[in-house]
Amino acid sequence: MPSSDIAPSAAPPVARLIEAFHRLPGIGPKSAQRLTYHLIRMPQDEAEEFAAAILGVKERVVLCDTCANIAEAVECTICGDLQRDSTRICVVEEPLDVVAVERARVYSGKYHVLHGVISPVNGVGPNDLKLRELLERLRDGTVVEVIVATNPNLEGEATAMYIQQLIGPLGVKVTRLARGLPSGSDIEYADDSTLAHALESRAEIPQRQTGTPE
Amino acid sequence: MTSKRRPVTYTTDGVVVRTSNLGEADRIITLITPIHGIVRGVAKAARKPGSKMGGHLDLLKHVSVSVRETRTLHGLSQVSTVNGYRGLRDDLDRFSRGSYISEMAERFSVENGANQPLFRLLLDVLSTLEVSDNPEMAIHFYEMRLLQLSGFAPELSRCVESGVELEPANHLYSADRGGLVNNESRPVGETALLPASLNTIKLLRFLSRADIAQATAMKSGEDENRQLSRILRAQIHHVLDRGLRSEAFMDEVRTRPGHGNGIGRTTSDSSNE
């Protein structure tokens, strides 16, 4: 939508900023206007800091040469950390997924960011993802396991299947994040494929050593 | 005096053909429905792990959904899965074909345009594709039937140039003219004609009147298959005025040797093996 349609009566610089916000994902015309008028009311120094932060991101942030995660140098902090397990790579769709997995604090291996998933209806194929770079990382034989952590939807599953077919012949173990019922959900509302996966991946309840009823 | 229009809410069946993220955790869903044509709606918080809708509103799922109409994107709620087509989810080849089918259904549908035959066809083909050992012919059946339902059925008995009845022989196919062309009637300088062998013509005629069970029971040779693909696709491209995005991936999966690795290989790599 052109800026004149979003804010027909706004001054040109205001309209331009509204349009810029409107281009961001998830920002509709109303939100774009609200954010713009919030910035107009913002003190000068805060606005300059905000603008400098945007420019800084564009000037200083690059993709890690190894894992394609967002980094400040050619090697990200995770790839440069010698304490981390280099025999395992967790493959994720987007850089934000690295943050999510790191939040769980149970994984100490490396990552690889695909920057998307195979999405035929959107014209995204395997060659549009960072799969060639992933293959390069497996060539020296250090990696023993690739954990595919793409989203548990159809395109994420298809990408996982593709990765499995791609690197399976190299002798590297390919695993997939477990799927099933999320904590706090109701079985009544679960869809058939989630329930099927949950049943297939069911686990034995471990015997407790103490407090077992007679 | 103008009265405020009350929002309309209805329940419909639909097949999810497209999804995209919206905001923090919402998802925009595009459905093909029998009565309302294409329906685009927002499933609030569908990306959160605890969502009651997220698991149901995945691509290539036949769902029942409650739609609350608004002026822009409708609101979706109370979703349940009618058929999840698991066979399309566990097999890359079937997934790629399912994507092709759903993209075509979307391109041949319009908003607020009831099209029950197209919806029934979509369900039939998805169900067949899930289990059939002849997915190639299921795709050709779908392409042919979609053209017929949309009023673009190929002319297979008379020459579209001269109008004369075609002799049982090899002929040519013109996507621009929408049918077969007699070899003798080939327009001078015409280069966009596709070869159509007698066997391919027989298959096209068979597909134009067969049901899906008969179509998938029919085996065809590689050459005929290739010609069928080229002819039906050319006709679809002509009708839609462009190709389909999912074709490239479907072809890649189909042509990979043993469904193996096609990435990072060059011609010289292959020749060294």
In chain B (273 residues long), the average pLDDT of successive 10-residue segments reads 68 95 89 95 90 90 94 90 92 95 95 92 96 93 96 94 90 92 77 89 95 93 92 95 92 73 39 36
Residue B261 is predicted with a pLDDT of: 40
What are chain A's domains? 3-60 (1.10.8.420), 80-184+190-200 (3.40.1360.10)
3-state secondary structure chain B: CCCCCCCCEEEEEEEEEEEEEECCCEEEEEEEECCCEEEEEEECCCCCCCCCCCCCCCCCCEEEEEEECCCCCEEEEEEEEEECCHHHHCCHHHHHHHHHHHHHHHHCCCECCCCHHHHHHHHHHHHHHHHCCCHHHHHHHHHHHHHHHCCCCCECCECCCCCCECCCCCEEEECCCCEEECHHHCCCCCCCCEEECHHHHHHHHHHHHCCHHHHHHCCCCHHHHHHHHHHHHHHHHHHHCCCCCCHHHHHHHHHCHHHCCCCCCCHHHHHHC
Condensed to tens digits (0 to 9), the pLDDT of residues A151-163 reads 989 999 999 999 9
Please enumerate residues of B whose Cβ is less than 8 A from a Cβ of A. Answer: 17-19, 21-24, 49-50, 52, 55-56, 58-61, 81, 84, 86, 88-92, 95-96, 99-100, 102-103, 106, 245-246, 248-250, 252, 259-264
The partner residue sitting opposite A193, judged by closest CB among B19, B50, B84, is B84
pLDDT at res. A2: 53
- Domain map of chain B by residue range? 9-84, 89-253
Residue A76 predicted with pLDDT over 50: yes
pLDDT (average), residues A27-47: 92
The matching CATH number, chosen from 2.40.50.140, 2.120.10.30, 3.40.50.720, 3.40.50.300, for B9-84 is 2.40.50.140
Nearest to A169 among B88, B248, B260 (CB): B260
**Average of per-residue pLDDT values in chain A:** 89
Q: Are B127 and B212 in contact (CB under 8 A)?
A: no
CA angle A89, A94, A99 (to 5 degrees): 75
State how beta strands B171-174 and B194-196 pair.
antiparallel
Residue A95 has pLDDT above 60, yes or no: yes
One-letter amino acid at B94 equals R
**CATH says B89-253 is which class?**
mainly alpha
Which of A95-99, A210-214, B255-259 has the largest mean confidence? A95-99
Per-residue confidence (pLDDT) for residue A148, from 0 to 100: 96
CB pair distance less than 8 Å for A122 and B55: no
Token pair, residue B254, equals: 């189909």
H, E, C per residue of chain A:
CCHHHHCCCCCHHHHHHHHHHHCCCCCCHHHHHHHHHHHHHCCHHHHHHHHHHHHHHHHHCEECCCCCCEECCCCCHHHHCCCCEEEEEEEECCHHHHHHHHHHCCCCEEEEECCCCCEHHHCECHHHCCHHHHHHHHCCCCCCEEEECCCCCHHHHHHHHHHHHHHHHHCCEEEECCCCCCCCCCHHHCCHHHHHHHHHCCCCCCCCCCCCCC
Q: What is the pLDDT of residue B136?
A: 93
Residues belonging to chain A with any Cβ–Cβ distance to chain B shorter than 8 Å: 25-26, 118, 120-123, 125-127, 131-132, 135-136, 153-155, 157-158, 161-162, 165-166, 169, 182-186, 189-194, 196
**pLDDT(A205) > 80:** yes
